[in-house]
Amino acid sequence: MSLLVEGLAKRYGDTPVFGNVHLRLEPGEFVAVVGESGVGKSSLLNCLAALDTWSEGRITHDGTDLGALDEAQRAHWRRRHLGFVFQAFHVLPHLDVAQNVALPLLLLNQSDDARVAAMLDAVGLQGMGARLPASLSGGQLQRVAIARALVHRPAIVLADEPTGNLDPDTAARVMDLLQAQTREHGSSLLLVTHSDAAAGRADRVLRLTRSGLQRD
């Protein structure tokens, strides 16, 4: 069930962003991607999530060539295999906490209130399911986002600067949680970060430059 990236290149129009990116993300592995601002880390993550297209190369997951899927098939692949955590949380403001966490299961026709409640417990938000996001702190919102990214037990969790908006203590607690939860579910975790503290927790740290992705 590894995610394999071979010779990936990304351009926006005629402007190259990165090229020659190779990566094998193994089940259960935690990889951090670091790199200068603007080098294309978020663009790479969007390619890995099949949210954006790439200019050259191949991404395969468990033998499925993501580039060969049409839009509907990509969406299906994302729903089934992927959890995504963003710096800006991206919880839906008009849904309550439990409804936000339940969303991936709903989209898979696998609604499971007990699983949602267990996930809220696991991230320390027990009893807060009926609260609206506007009434939560940044750390609490990021825990909602982590619960939502993991509730459907995805094989791959992609996290783009998930602690970027949090103070150091809250960031450390959110990272503890993200690591514990991905470990418990056997998910691979790919984390894009500017934080040395967050990167230092990873099994491997890779640096993205214009010419590829290398061990830091």
Ligand X SMILES: Nc1ncnc2c1ncn2[C@@H]1O[C@H](COP(=O)(O)OP(=O)(O)OP(=O)(O)O)[C@@H](O)[C@H]1O
Q: How far is the CB of 9 from ligand X (least distance, A)?
A: 13
Can you tell me which of 3, 5, 8, 17 binds ligand X, judged by CB under 6 A? Answer: 17
Piece of the chain touching ligand X by CB under 6 A; list 33-41, 63-71, 101-109, 176-184: 33-41
Tell me: does residue 60 bind ligand X (CB under 6 A).
Answer: no
Can you tell me which of 12, 16, 24, 180 binds ligand X, judged by CB under 6 A? Answer: 12
The string of DSSP codes covering 26-76 is -TT-EEEEE--TTSSHHHHHHHHTTSS--SEEEEEETTEEGGGS-HHHHHH
Cα(102)–Cα(112) distance, rounded to whole angstroms?
8
CA–centroid distance for 120 within its chain:
18
Cα(160)–Cα(89) distance, rounded to whole angstroms?
10
The closest alpha carbon to 201, from 152, 141, 159, belongs to 159
Tell me: does residue 35 bind ligand X (CB under 6 A).
Answer: yes
Cα(124)–Cα(23) distance, rounded to whole angstroms?
34
Piece of the chain touching ligand X by CB under 6 A; list 30-38, 124-132, 171-179, 182-190: 30-38
Tell me: does residue 165 bind ligand X (CB under 6 A).
Answer: no
For ligand X, the closer CB: 12 or 106: 12
Piece of the chain touching ligand X by CB under 6 A; list 22-30, 37-45, 63-71, 198-206: 37-45
- Please give the residue ranges that form the binding site for ligand X (CB under 6 A): 12, 17, 35, 37-43
